[in-house]
A and B are shown apart, each in its own frame.
Chain A
């Protein structure tokens, strides 16, 4: 009975995950090994954190979506780089970079909730503004010397696994799952996403809940940006070019409903590793990254097709649900 319901809600995710692993193993047999999994988890951490933020924003409903995650990822690591370049201490620079991410997300949230402009347009505009600012701050050049003490975030290991996986990604995933399932903010978020009017009548501030969701996305993008800067010892103003598409794909693949109010951290984690597996094996087989992008787009459309109620009803021969 329980398995049947798991299959009902996550069946397509499991199917697509298995298909992706088969495809990846065919493309690059080396990817299906403990070493391969450990290596790809390095990439999974960064896009996974961004995808958590994207999921949070979509969950908040009202057409919530964030196209600027890639730009916030780039701008926050540039802020870090510029501060380090100007001889600020590392701890202060990291703190300010995180604050920058939080502020950028908050700006998104404020504009979306206060003006009522659709999130897609607001974040499209801020995507341009943030990545433009990243280019202005760096004059289009990568910032590269970082103090050696900074390297541990992105390059060290704990028990043979990447530091950022054990010390950053897993705790954040657990924390977010706890917040979503066990705290009032998490419940508010789900209610605001599925029924904002009911939420308002229950005395929940829709505006505040959504602004916090956007700010969280900004903060998570900044964390991912800092990990990236530490891993490559470079702050790149053009980082995260297609991170928004990938993050949306991961969120949707992980079972987040675009209408808001429904989504899970576990699903997002599984989807993150599925997509990373795909791109890692493409990289291993030396296939141009543009094909990986195409494959991601294809997976996205396929997932949405599967999520579509009427299609699934027809496929599994259930009663047709007309919206």
Chain B
């Protein structure tokens, strides 16, 4: 027990340090953007759209955090988002009830997540390959349903509720994201399932030997991600009430970038849900800055790639220090 209490503060202090660096980077970009855009950054429309965009990335980033901590990955998030809003839109077309359509969309996302989870847990196919395969299958399914057409008959309630409605001056979407972040932070730190996820990510064999339901935990994590991707789809509909065959494509990379930038170890075992929120905020602020500072959009891909690399490398440096501190603490103990 004493050993654990020594090892834990060591990890905690570097965690805080990493998140401090992240906060500092966000602050620098905010200051640079507000100077460079001559105050346009602080206008209400820009801040609102930044908040809603952050919510859209942060919500599936919660699920992605669990999946990556567990040692997995899911690159089909964008396609799940696209197919679930397609099903939402189609069901609204045939039965104009917002509740039924929402339920259909969320159910579609959940089912796709369950399929991902079942395939990965039972067939032992590497998650990246499985989800890459499903990415193309779901994309084909979107095209099968839409046939190149657009769905424009989207309930306006989403925009009304998530973007227009303000609670304490902030759009409801960001509050929803914050509540989910708080809930899943608690689950990851205090509930059995949350601890199972870390245990599996650290050592899957040991977790299985200890009697942790490895497969069930994995299936739940991927299902949660599927459901949250569908939720992000609804936020997407609130931002632009339109479904087309390219809806959601490439979105998985923003989500993975947010999680990795947020300090989650890409090989699993370590990470926090609130870190991913900060990561989502950083990724979205950079996107916003690219637009406000009139930088050519072509640079966005280069920037995204570099941010992921820098974040992963700095994460590795911080983690090496942590490990050394932990070893030292253990050595002085025994």
Q: Which residues of A contact B (CB under 8 A)?
A: 65, 111, 115-118, 120-122, 124-133, 135-136, 139-140, 242, 245, 248, 252, 258, 288, 290-291, 293-298, 300-301, 304-305, 308, 311, 323
Contacts and interface: CB of A to CB of B under 8 A. Distances in A.
B58 interface: no
Contacts of A120: 73, 128
Contacts of B245: 290
Contacts of A252: 129
A125 B305 CA distance: 4
A111 B296 contact: no
A135 B132 contact: no
B140 A128 contact: no
A305 B126 CA distance: 11
A125 B299 contact: no
B258 interface: no
Nearest to A111: B309
Contacts of A297: 132-137, 140
Contact of B313 (A115, A258, A290, A308): A115
B107 interface: no
Contact of A288 (B128, B130, B143, B300): B143
Nearest to A291: B140
B178 to A, nearest CB: 28
A132 B137 contact: no
B143 to A, nearest CB: 4
B168 to A, nearest CB: 36
B30 interface: no
B169 interface: no
Given A121-B308, A305-B123, A308-B123, 19 more contacts: A117-B266, A117-B316, A118-B266, A121-B312, A124-B256, A125-B305, A128-B301, A129-B301, A129-B305, A129-B306, A135-B298, A136-B302, A248-B129, A290-B140, A293-B136, A293-B139, A294-B140, A300-B129, A304-B130
A248 B135 CA distance: 14
Contact of B302 (A124, A128, A139, A301): A128
Contacts of B260: 121
Nearest to A133: B302
B125 interface: yes
Interface residues of B, number: 42
Contacts of B126: 258
B116 to A, nearest CB: 11
Most chain A C-beta atoms within 10 Å of own C-beta, residue among B119, B136, B260, B299: B136
B170 to A, nearest CB: 31
A131 B253 CA distance: 14
A125 B306 contact: yes
A248 to B, nearest CB: 7
A120 to B, nearest CB: 5
A65 B125 contact: no
B209 to A, nearest CB: 15
Contacts of B308: 121, 124-125, 128
Given A121-B260, A135-B298, A128 B137 contact: no
B309 A293 contact: no
A248 B132 contact: yes
A297 B163 CA distance: 36
B266 A296 contact: no
Contacts of B327: none
B180 interface: no
B254 to A, nearest CB: 11
A288 B144 CA distance: 10
24 contacts: A115-B313, A117-B266, A117-B313, A124-B305, A125-B308, A126-B305, A129-B301, A132-B303, A136-B298, A136-B299, A245-B135, A290-B139, A291-B144, A294-B140, A297-B133, A297-B134, A297-B135, A300-B132, A301-B130, A301-B133, A304-B130, A305-B125, A308-B123, A323-B124
Contacts of A121: 260, 266, 308, 312
Interface string B286-321: 000000000010111111111011001100100000
Contacts of A125: 304-306, 308-309, 312
B141 interface: yes
A47 to B, nearest CB: 15
B187 interface: no
Contact of A115 (B125, B256, B316): B316
B267 interface: yes
Most chain B C-beta atoms within 10 Å of own C-beta, residue among A116, A125, A304: A125
A291 B303 CA distance: 31
A115 to B, nearest CB: 6
Contacts of A140: 298
A111 B130 CA distance: 25
A112 to B, nearest CB: 11
A245 B316 CA distance: 28
Nearest to A127: B305
Nearest to A288: B143
Contact of B253 (A111, A124, A248): A124
Contacts of A131: 301
A252 B128 CA distance: 13
A116 B315 CA distance: 12
B300 to A, nearest CB: 7
Contacts of B306: 125, 129
Most chain A C-beta atoms within 10 Å of own C-beta, residue among B260, B304, B309: B309
A129 B302 contact: yes
Contacts of A128: 253, 301-302, 304-305, 308
B139 to A, nearest CB: 6
B332 to A, nearest CB: 28
